[in-house]
Amino acid sequence: MTKQVVVPVQLVPDFTVEKNCINQQTLFIDNTNDFADPITAWQWTFGTLGSGTGSPAEFTFPSVGNVNVNLTVTTQTGCSYSRLKSVSIDSAPTASFTASPTVGEPPLPVTFTNTSTGAITYLWQFGDSGNSESTVPSPQFTFTDLGQYTVELTAFNTLNCSHKTTRTIHVVVPVLDVEVSLLELLTNQTSLTPAVTLINRSNVPVQNPVVRFDLSGAAAINEVIPVTIPSNSSYRHVAGFSLPERDGLDYVCAEVLLDDTTPHNNRLCATVKSDFFVLEPYPNPVFGKQPVTIIWVSTTENTAVISLLSSSGKQVFSAAVSATSGFNSAEVSTRHLQAGLYILSIASGTRTRNFRLVVVE
């Protein structure tokens, strides 16, 4: 008895590799010519790191170097064939970029500076409603509508390995709020120099703010601070001038000149010789029942007590006023006063200042 046995043509397994970089889903694709005996199963061994099945197969390598990859294929006739290759695992690209500005009002032109490494091509996606894209290494893009935009950069190397990174761009209606948080008087033996700390509480950067330094009401100096203060950031500026210490300099005030939403925190004052300084009340003498204005500078938040005594020592007015750190003012009504001489007194803590006040019918 004879029996015919069919011996299939021997296959020569082969495979290709794509995206063979660290921390990537490296693809292993079988390209064996199996026309004579179709393959039904694939078994992969990635050195000592792991294994896989099917084609294509994926595997992620944690480090660079050469790895022995073995492919074993099984055909429909039950035959098995293997192929061993040394596969080089290379470094992956790293995507990174800066954007300027990252917040502002529309239309907002933004310059993107590509700082990626190990890459040769790029894909930018700007996150707008039009799904705008760019392949320019460092593009510019203008955001025309209010909103928050996630800009994504994908960087590719020669092996088609990729890496992504994102930044957020905020297009907003500007709300300005800059606080003068600290005023220092830096002194040496003969002079003093103001130093001011600004906090930008706005939702946008503030560029080149102007600070006015009031020198005891006798003079004022405007100084441009040539910086951009990002949102929710502070900046300390030492004035570009110094003042000789002299008897006529009682206080210094610093005010940021900005039309913002909370003007009450735009100004701070500091006294030169003490922690409590009071200017002469005005008008004095008082004609026609005018209110009297009293202005004082305090270095702390406290309560000032303003009182008015007649020439006989009788108290005819008293009020407690909440004072802030810096410049303060209050008005005293004279409508109920008869003509005569009075003592206007203001007390803060342990300090008291008295002034002669003349009321004229």
Q: Do 197 and 265 lie in a common domain?
A: yes
Q: Do 267 and 282 lie in a common domain?
A: no
| Residue 23: C-alpha distances to residues 7, 45, 89 (Å) | 43, 18, 10
The verdict on residue 6 lying in a domain is no
Give the pLDDT of residue 100.
Answer: 93
Q: Do 105 and 67 lie in a common domain?
A: no
Give the chain's radius of gyration (CA, Å).
Answer: 39
Burial class of residue 85 (count of CB atoms within 10 Å of its CB; 0-12, 13-18, 19+): middle
Q: Do 234 and 305 lie in a common domain?
A: no
Three-state SS for 320?
A: strand
As given in the structure block, the two tokens for residue 110 are 């933004």
Residue type at position 106: P
CATH number at residue 38: 2.60.40.10
Identify the residue whose tokens are 């170097």: 65
Task: Decide if 149 contacts 128 (C-beta within 8 A).
Answer: yes
The verdict on residue 355 lying in a domain is yes
The verdict on residue 9 lying in a domain is no
CB-based contacts of 278, cutoff 8 Å, min separation 6: 294, 295, 296, 297, 346, 353, 355
Q: Do 81 and 101 lie in a common domain?
A: no
CATH number at residue 316: 2.60.40.1930
Q: Do 185 and 255 lie in a common domain?
A: yes
The verdict on residue 8 lying in a domain is no
Q: Containing domain of residue 84, as a range? A: 15-89
The separation between the first and the last C-alpha atoms of the chain, rounded to the nearest angstrom, is 148
Burial class of residue 2 (count of CB atoms within 10 Å of its CB; 0-12, 13-18, 19+): exposed
- Peptide bond just before 283 cis, omega within 30 deg: yes
| Count of helix runs (H) and strand runs (E) in the chain | 0, 33
Task: Decide if 103 contacts 109 (C-beta within 8 A).
Answer: no
Q: Do 64 and 102 lie in a common domain?
A: no
- Among 254, 257, 255, 208, smallest CA distance to 229 is for 208
Identify the residue whose tokens are 């970029």: 97
How far is it, in rounded angstroms, from Cα 135 to Cα 207? 32
- Among 283, 328, 325, 286, smallest CA distance to 305 is for 328
The verdict on residue 2 lying in a domain is no
- Among 74, 61, 163, 59, smallest CA distance to 120 is for 163
- Among 262, 152, 162, 131, smallest CA distance to 202 is for 262
Q: Do 80 and 138 lie in a common domain?
A: no
Give the total number of structural domains in the chain. Answer: 4
Beta bridge partners of 108: 143
As given in the structure block, the two tokens for residue 269 are 């004052």
Task: Decide if 255 contacts 184 (C-beta within 8 A).
Answer: no
DSSP 8-state symbol, 13: -
The verdict on residue 335 lying in a domain is yes
Could you say which of 150, 171, 192 is where a domain stops? 171
Q: 10-residue block means of pLDDT along the chain (361 residues)?
A: 74 96 96 94 96 96 97 95 97 97 94 98 97 97 97 97 97 94 84 93 94 90 95 94 77 91 86 79 89 86 92 91 85 91 90 90 76
Q: Do 238 and 218 lie in a common domain?
A: yes
Q: Do 193 and 250 lie in a common domain?
A: yes
Give the pLDDT of residue 289.
Answer: 84
Identify the residue whose tokens are 């290494």: 137
The verdict on residue 3 lying in a domain is no
Please write down the long-range contacts of 139-142, taking CB distance under 8 Å and 24 or more positions apart: 139/112, 140/109, 140/110, 140/111, 140/112, 141/109, 141/110, 141/112, 142/107, 142/108, 142/109, 142/110
Instruction: Give the CA diameter of the chain.
Output: 149
Beta bridge partners of 43: 53, 72
Could you say which of 130, 150, 171 is where a domain stops? 171
Burial class of residue 332 (count of CB atoms within 10 Å of its CB; 0-12, 13-18, 19+): buried
Q: Do 194 and 266 lie in a common domain?
A: yes
CB-based contacts of 359, cutoff 8 Å, min separation 6: 285, 286, 334, 337, 338, 339, 340, 341, 342
The verdict on residue 222 lying in a domain is yes
Three-state SS for 344?
A: strand
Q: Do 187 and 133 lie in a common domain?
A: no
Does pTM top 0.75 for this prediction?
no
Could you say which of 253, 271, 289 is where a domain stops? 271
